[in-house]
Structure 1
């Protein structure tokens, strides 16, 4: 592996702070993904863990609008 390649680089870019995470995820969902499942699969994320983290700040995924509201 090239020393400049980072395994799992997509996960590194995910914010840890719940408020920053909310903004990031909603922007990604709006601009690039048709569903939360597609986002999680592409980014190698556990959907339940993501939903639990955003639930901490009282946000839940709404598939009708493809956003956390």
Structure 2
């Protein structure tokens, strides 16, 4: 699935897409961010703004 301008998506929509991509094969957050042409720190900040943080052990964003 190609997504144009993922950085401009609503955070909740981006969360669903990111977690699906992480679940289906992106090795880690850094790989996914590079694939989606996003800064991983910016992505983490956007997810934190809606109450989610990246859990490396499960390779997903989870609610705090």
Q: TM-score normalized by structure 2? A: 0.82
Higher-Rg structure is: 1
Shift of 1:42: 1.7
Unaligned runs of 5+ in 2: none
Unaligned runs of 5+ in 1: 1-9
1:18, 1:43 → 2: CA distance?
14
1:57, 1:43 → 2: CA distance?
20
Q: Does 1:12 align with 2:4?
A: yes
Please identify which structure carries the higher strand content. 2
Q: TM-score normalized by structure 1? A: 0.77
Point out 4+ residue stretches in structure 1 off by more than 6 angstroms.
none
